[in-house]
A and B are shown apart, each in its own frame.
Chain A
Amino acid sequence: MSGVLLSVEDALVELPTPRGNLRAVDHVDLTVDAGRTLGIVGESGCGKTMLSRAILQLLPKKARLSGRVMFDGQDLTRLSPEKLRKLRGRSLAVVFQDPMTSLNPVLTIGTQLIETIQEHLALDLAEARKRSVELLAAVGIPAPEQRLAQYPHQLSGGMRQRVAIAVALSCEPKLLIADEPTTALDVTIQAQILDLLAREQRRRHMAMIIITHDLGVVAGRTDEVAVMYAGRVVERAPTPALFKQMRMPYTEALLAALPKLDAAPHTPLPAISGRPPDPTRPLKGCSFAPRCRYAAGRCNTDKPVLSRAETAEHLYACFHPIETTASGRA
């Protein structure tokens, strides 16, 4: 099963702020094939959430979106609110960082699951209930029958995220967007939740977008990775190709900043100095230039565009990409 399921074409998201116009997403193009997994990686504030909200058509009211979001043959930017509501939860589902964003605190787990299922599928109460129990079991919730009567606050953070995933999976979506689904969780629970998502993704043959700031999270779990910086996609490649040969200095820096398991204690981490630029004050040249160790020449005056590396699938936006021979750099 292949074919493009989602294609984001020249998406631009701008928000008016007291400091001026804020460009949160800056001319982004992306595609996700049916049944495939895309990781979106980048630092806080680089536009990952705004991009996913642009796909879901869940942007803040004052936001301005241009470009197209083609999903399953229709342009979501042109759909009526009613059609969009039907689509979300049915073929397009989302899991947020904070499970309480997707769960209703005053309704029991059972009510939320059963209502979602009945809203989108023609099942009677008994069938919807049975399906809810199956879903809770599938996401690893012990004693699922009893959980139906519980409220979200009676569960731990990890359990809540499992329930949010169960709700998202309840109508067999074609695409699941998981926005930092494990950032608020412990490492052990994070591993469990990521395994759960991977298993359900394969089993249901759905496409998935995993958003994270940790390259370690996407390495073993995605087909393709898009790295975002200051609202733009700055590198995009099939996951193995990206880790084999990063071309963009920012991607390299993100990877280097992770603590290494084989490094001796007290080894200084190659941190990226400074912070991303103020998105209301876009830079003339490459947005990464003030923090980039390779910045030179045109970097401060011209904007590098996303272009091809050796293969058609590997794209990067950089004037001085890391050379293929430079694997010793870390």
Chain B
Amino acid sequence: MLLPSPDPLLKVDNLVVEYSVGGKTVHAVSGVSLEVERGETLGLVGESGCGKSTLGRAVLQLRRAESGKVLFDGHDLTAMQGEALRRMRQRVQLIFQDPIASLNPRRRIGDIVAEPLVIAGVKDPAERRQRVHDVLSAVGLDPTLVAGRLPHEFSGGQCQRVCIARALVLNPEFVVCDEPVSALDVSIRAQILNLLEEMKTRYGLTLLFIAHDLAVVKAVSDRVAVMYLGRLCEVGPSEQLFARPAHPYTALLIEAIPVPDPDMKPTESVPTGEPPSPIAPPSGCRFRTRCPRADTRCASEVPELHPLAPGQLVACHHPLI
């Protein structure tokens, strides 16, 4: 048990997801456990390629896990198939990173947003039109102006609003937001982050919010999970994690945030190098090849996620606190 909550909406238990590439195994997600409580936003942060999207897709069963469980509202999604899974999926939706690429360029906005309704079997066209109208207004688009137009007529920020509308039209309980603002400008990013917060309240959502920028994650998350090369490094309340990071990798992510203050000269202490290949991850702690605190124990023994402070868990042999 990672959290005291007796009844999380989502519980991921020891999830393993692998890809096979040219006879080799990519260890994309290697034994991740986490919980998301009802009504909370859990931020998931980590560098490109660390397995965030894979984890998100495996939660939605868009990619089947090698092992482990995904319990949604008490039901094990990994054991479900066909009609049962399809019904479950209406309660869980996904918003993608690249808003423009994730919209079919030949379909009108109204049809794109209505599509989940069609798949879910809402047969009455008048009801579909009404629900599309409502959700488009909710995300700040004028339904009468946008419904008949094609995606290329819209900016990245507007396309992301359409994607959010599409994800919300079925009234889901849980939404995985996979880097929803990474492709957007600073100003549009703020608009979309605010919109997500507003929609969360309005629709009573629980969110898994994925990003590589810790400042963005902190702005919207109650708790944050830090991921590195397929494993979780640290989980904890956003502010606590920020004020007192326990894992050296969390500290590195905090240091990397560009601060808009000319007196705060960049430290230049960010270790160079990039994450190793997930085809042959390092033994022991996967972060050890970039960690300033690494020793021989780190090379031989896998650090397990363990409680350190109230609500804060860390997977490190030599935590910072």
Contacts and interface: CB of A to CB of B under 8 A. Distances in A.
A271 B187 contact: yes
B264 interface: yes
B144 interface: no
Interface string B247-264: 000001101111111111
B220 A257 contact: no
B151 interface: no
B277 to A, nearest CB: 10
A265 B239 CA distance: 7
A178 to B, nearest CB: 14
Interface string A79-98: 00000000000000000000
B47 A186 contact: yes
Nearest to A214: B186
A35 B88 CA distance: 61
A272 B266 CA distance: 27
A306 interface: no
Interface in A211-244: 213-217, 219-221, 239-240, 243
A132 to B, nearest CB: 19
Interface in A257-311: 257-261, 263-273, 275
A228 to B, nearest CB: 13
Interface in A181-207: 185-192, 194-195, 198-199
Given A220-B264, A220-B265, A253-B187, A269 B255 contact: no
Contacts of A215: 186, 260
Interface stretch (A53-61, A99-107, A154-162): A154-162
A220 B212 CA distance: 21
B193 A259 contact: yes
Nearest to A188: B256
A217 B258 CA distance: 6
Contact of A198 (B156, B221, B264, B266): B266
Contact of A191 (B156, B239, B255, B262): B255
B155 interface: yes
A186 B264 contact: no
Contacts of B270: 188, 191-192, 195
Contact of B260 (A157, A188, A194, A243): A243
B89 interface: no
19 contacts: A43-B186, A187-B212, A187-B214, A189-B274, A191-B258, A192-B270, A192-B272, A213-B187, A216-B259, A220-B264, A257-B187, A257-B189, A257-B190, A261-B218, A264-B239, A268-B194, A269-B193, A270-B190, A272-B191
Given A188-B270, A261-B257, 4 more contacts: A158-B274, A261-B259, A268-B194, A269-B219
Interface of B: 41, 47-49, 155-157, 185-191, 193-194, 197, 212-216, 218-222, 238-239, 242, 252-253, 255-266, 268, 270, 272-274
